[in-house]
Amino acid sequence: MRTRSNWLLALVLAVLLSPQTSRAEETVGGKIEAGVYGQDIGKNGTRVSEYSRLGDGNTSPGYGIFDFHGATPTSAADISIDILGADDPNVEVKFDFNRILRVDADYSAFKHQLGHDRIDYMNAAVPGANLFASGNPGAPVSIDAAGVPTAGTSIWSLGTSPDEELNPNNIPAYIGKDASGNWYATNLAALPPSIAGQTVAWQQVGRASVYGEDFAKDQVFEITRKEAKANADLTLPFLPNVTFHAGVRNERREGTEQSIGMSKCTACHVTGGSREVAEQTDEFNVGATGRFGLLTVDYNYKNSEFRENAAAPTRVYDPALAPSPATPYTPGNAVFDNRLLYDYEDGALVYDQTPDSKKQSHVLKARMDFANDTSLIGSFVNSDTKSRKQGEAGIWNIADQELKSTYDGYGFRLASKVTDSVKVLLHGKLEQVETDDSVITFFPMGTTAQPNLGGGTLPASITNTYESVESRDVVTLGADAVWRLARKSTLRLGYEYKADDRDSEHYGKTTKQTADAILKTVLGKNVTFRAGYTYQNIDDPFMHENAAGYIDPITGLPYTNDPTVNVIGNGPLYGTAFYDLRQTDLSNQPENVHEGKVSSTWSPVANFSTTAAIRYRNEENELDRSEWQQETLSPSLSFWYAPAQKLNLTFAYNYLGQRAESRFCQGWYDG
C-alpha cells in the first residue's frame, strides 16, 4: 500500500518569479510541491512494487515537484522536475517556437526489482542411493565373477528400496534390482549378471538426474534503468505540408540479475549465480511526414547500437560422465556417439553472454482517405541487424563472427462503413525474415580418465552448418465486422489466418486460425457489460521432433530391462539406441485454445465505480505419443473511489487458479 502525504507549498510562480507586464499574451507560471512519500511492503516487493522508484523496503523519503511554464506571442516552454529522495530526478522539457520548431525532451530513471529463482524444486527426479555421504545404507555384497559371494568387491545391498537422502556427489554409477525386489548399487565397470543366484537387471544412473543449487541465496537482483531522449519537429513556413522529424535516445541498464547455468553428461545440475549488467543503447532517427490532400505519407529512418560493457559471468562445469566402454554383454564394444566439448578440466568458462549488435530500419507508411468513412493504410518496414559472436578457444569456433538478419514487412489495413450500422475492417501482412546460417567447428574433448569421452577415438574437430530457425515467411490475413445492434450495443466478429513457414524443414510450417466475438452493451443505468470469446486452432505448433521416448526398433515398445535387447545404459549401443532412436515429439505450445472473458462495471456516481470480471482459458495439445491440457480460471473484483479531487483510493482482488495435466511421464531420466 502507498500513501502520499502533502503538506504543501502550492505557490504560483507568476506572482513570485515573473515581472509585471502589460502584455496579457505573455504569461509565466508554475508551482512547487513538497512532501513525504511512504511505502510499506509486507512480503515480496518484486510482486507489488516491481517498478517502484522506492525499492522494496519500508521507506519515507522526501519528494518535490517543480513545474514551470512560460509563453510569449511566438514561443512557449514547459519544464517539469520530479524529485524523490536521493534518486535521479525525472525531468521533462517541452519547447515550441512559433509552431515552426517543437522540441520534446525528457530524462527518467527507476529501479526494476527482479525475482529470485531459488531453484529448490528440481530434486524430485534424483534416483535414490545415498552410499557415500553418511555411510553405506546396507552391508556390502561380496561376489565372484560367477555371482557367488566372495570378499573384496564394492557392491552394496540397498534392501527393498533405495535410500532417499541424496546430493549429486554420492550417486553410484549403476543400481540394479533382482527378482525378489532387492536393490543393489555399485561403481564397478564389470557388472555381474547375477547375485547369489538371482539375475540382476542393472540400470546406469551416473549421478543425480536433476539437481538445483542457488549460489547467490542472499543476493537481491535489481536493474536501474535510465533513459534520456529528445525529439524535434520542424515545419518550415514555405513548406507547410511537410513536417521533418529527428530524435535521439540513450538508454542504460545497470545492476545485477540472476544467471542460470547447467552441467550435463554427469547430471542436469542447474545452478543460479549473479550476473553484472551494464547495457547501453544509443539511437538516432530522422524522418518526415507529408500531407497532400487525402493522402498522408510518413517515412522514418532509425539507427540503433547496443553494447554490453560488463564482463560475462564464468562457471566451472561438473566432471563429465559417460556409459562404461565395457559391459558384461559386449565387453569393450559399447558405443557413445555424443560429442562432449568441455567439463571441469577446462576451468572457468564464460557463459550467459549478451552480444553487441547494430540495427538500421526504414519505415514507410501511407494513408488514403476516401468517401463514406473509408480509409486505406499501407506500410513497408525494412530492417538489418548485425550481431557479434565469438567462440571459445579450443572448444568451438564460428566461421563468421558477424551474423546478419534482414526483415521485410508489407502490410495494409482497409476500413469502410458499409451501412449506418455496419463497419468492416480488413488487414493483411507479409513478413520475410532472412538470417545467416552458422558454420561452427567443435573440438571434442579427450581424457585419459574416461577414454569413451574422446580419448583419440573422435576426430580432432567436427564442422557443421546450422540452418537458422528464425528464417521464415509469415502471411497474416484477417477480417473484422462491427455491428451497432442498438444505440448502446455493439457486436464485433473477427477472423484471422496466420501461416508461419520456416525455412528449416525440421520445424516446418505452422498455421493458426483465430475466431473471436465481442459484445459490448449497457444493461441499465450506469451499468456496462462486456463479453468475449476467442477460439484458436493451431496446426503443427512449434515443437521439438523426436525429443524423447526411446522406442525399441524390434518390439516397437519403450525401453526395457531385458538384457537381450538394448537397455538404457547397459547395452552395446547406448548412444545410438537411446539418443538416435527417440521418436516422441514434445511441445509446450497448444493446438486448441478456448478463452472466454466477461466483465461488468457499475458507476452510480462520478467518483465511484466497481468492476467484476472473470476469465477462463483452456489449452490442449494432442502430440504423437502424449497429450497435455491446461485450464486457467481468474475472477477479479475492483473498487475505485475519489473522495477529493486529488485523492483516489483503489481496492482490487484477483484470483488465479491453474491446473495442468500431462500424460507424458519420463519416470527415470538417465544422463
- Using one digit for the tens of pLDDT, what is the confidence trace for 580-601? 677 888 899 999 999 999 999 9
DSSP secondary structure string for all residues of 369-417: EETTTEEEEEEEEEEEEEEE---BTTTEEES-SEEEEEEEEEEEEEEEE
Co-location of 57 and 193 in the same domain: no
In this prediction, residue 255 carries a pLDDT of 95
What is the average per-residue pLDDT within 625-635? 93
Highest mean pLDDT among 23-27, 460-464, 497-501: 497-501
Helix (H, G, I), strand (E, B) or coil at 167: coil
What is the average per-residue pLDDT within 35-48? 67
392 within a domain of the structure (yes/no): no
Answer yes or no: is pLDDT of 513 > 90: yes
279 within a domain of the structure (yes/no): no
Rg (CA), the chain: 33
Co-location of 532 and 609 in the same domain: yes
Higher per-residue pLDDT: 462 or 482 = 482
Co-location of 569 and 608 in the same domain: no
CA distances from 484 to 480, 489, 492 (A): 13, 6, 9
In this prediction, residue 326 carries a pLDDT of 41
Beta bridge partners of 379: 365, 411
- Using one digit for the tens of pLDDT, what is the confidence trace for 91-100? 999 999 998 9
When divided into structural domains, the chain yields a total of 4
Answer yes or no: is pLDDT of 304 > 80: yes
Q: What does the alpha-carbon distance between residue 185 and residue 155 come to, in Å, rounded to a whole number?
A: 6
Answer yes or no: is pLDDT of 626 > 90: no
Confidence of residue 33 (pLDDT cuts 50, 70, 90): confident
In this prediction, residue 161 carries a pLDDT of 54
Co-location of 168 and 51 in the same domain: no
Domain-ending residue, one of 204, 224, 241: 204
What is the average per-residue pLDDT within 305-330? 72
379: which 3 cell numbers?
Answer: 506500410
Beta bridge partners of 551: 558
Picking from 232-241, 467-476, 658-667, which range would have the lowest pLDDT averaged per residue? 658-667
CA distances from 581 to 60, 303, 321, 505, 568 (A): 63, 48, 21, 19, 12
Contact 519, 530 (CB under 8 A): yes
Confidence of residue 52 (pLDDT cuts 50, 70, 90): low
Co-location of 502 and 597 in the same domain: yes
Contact 154, 186 (CB under 8 A): yes
- Using one digit for the tens of pLDDT, what is the confidence trace for 540-585? 999 988 887 777 667 676 655 454 544 444 444 555 556 667 788 8
490: which 3 cell numbers?
Answer: 455493439
Instruction: Name the nearest CA neighbour of 536 among 632, 618, 413.
Output: 618
Write out the residue range of the structural domain in which residue 565 sits: 544-581
Q: What does the alpha-carbon distance between residue 120 and residue 214 come to, in Å, rounded to a whole number?
A: 8
326: which 3 cell numbers?
Answer: 565395457
Instruction: Name the nearest CA neighbour of 294 among 413, 410, 374.
Output: 374
Sort strands 210-214 and 268-292 into parallel, antiparallel or unpaired. parallel
Answer yes or no: is pLDDT of 655 > 70: yes
575 within a domain of the structure (yes/no): yes
Co-location of 537 and 549 in the same domain: no
Contact 92, 67 (CB under 8 A): no
Domain-ending residue, one of 166, 187, 204: 204
Contact 342, 349 (CB under 8 A): yes
Higher per-residue pLDDT: 457 or 553 = 553
Domain-ending residue, one of 144, 174, 204: 204
Co-location of 560 and 667 in the same domain: no
Q: What does the alpha-carbon distance between residue 339 and residue 413 come to, in Å, rounded to a whole number?
A: 51
Residue 272 CA, chain-centre distance (Å), reads: 17
Contact 513, 476 (CB under 8 A): no
Co-location of 525 and 650 in the same domain: yes
Higher per-residue pLDDT: 604 or 168 = 604
In this prediction, residue 35 carries a pLDDT of 85
- Using one digit for the tens of pLDDT, what is the confidence trace for 179-225? 887 777 776 666 777 887 788 877 655 444 677 888 898 898 999 99
643 within a domain of the structure (yes/no): yes
First and final C-alpha spacing in the chain: 48
Co-location of 170 and 40 in the same domain: no
Query: In this structure, how many other beta carbons lie within 10 angstroms of the beta carbon of residue 26?
Result: 13
466 within a domain of the structure (yes/no): no
**Residue 82 CB-density burial (10 A; 0-12 exposed, 13-18 middle, 19+ buried):** middle
Torsion of CA 542, 354, 305, 230, to 10 degrees: 90
- Using one digit for the tens of pLDDT, what is the confidence trace for 105-134? 999 998 888 889 988 777 655 544 344 333
In this prediction, residue 124 carries a pLDDT of 52
Q: What does the alpha-carbon distance between residue 438 and residue 15 come to, in Å, rounded to a whole number?
A: 68
Contact 350, 339 (CB under 8 A): no
Beta bridge partners of 185: 156, 175
- The percent of residues in the chain predicted with pLDDT above 90, rounded, is 48
DSSP secondary structure string for all residues of 168-183: TTS--SEEEEETTS-E
What is the average per-residue pLDDT within 479-488? 93
Q: What does the alpha-carbon distance between residue 77 and residue 102 come to, in Å, rounded to a whole number?
A: 10
Co-location of 517 and 657 in the same domain: yes
Q: What does the alpha-carbon distance between residue 455 and residue 487 come to, in Å, rounded to a whole number?
A: 81
Contact 580, 558 (CB under 8 A): no
94 within a domain of the structure (yes/no): yes
Query: For residues 569-596, b (16+ Cβ closer than 10 Å) or e, as one string?
Result: bbbebbeebbeebbbbbbbeebbebebe
253 within a domain of the structure (yes/no): no
- Using one digit for the tens of pLDDT, what is the confidence trace for 228-287? 999 999 999 999 999 999 999 999 999 999 999 988 766 677 889 999 999 999 999 999
357 within a domain of the structure (yes/no): no
How high is the mean pLDDT of the chain? 81
Co-location of 601 and 577 in the same domain: no
Contact 520, 532 (CB under 8 A): no
Picking from 58-72, 147-161, 437-451, which range would have the lowest pLDDT averaged per residue? 147-161
What is the average per-residue pLDDT within 20-25? 47
H-state helical runs in 273-362: none
Co-location of 554 and 516 in the same domain: no
Q: What does the alpha-carbon distance between residue 594 and residue 598 come to, in Å, rounded to a whole number?
A: 14
Instruction: Name the nearest CA neighbour of 168 among 142, 132, 195.
Output: 132
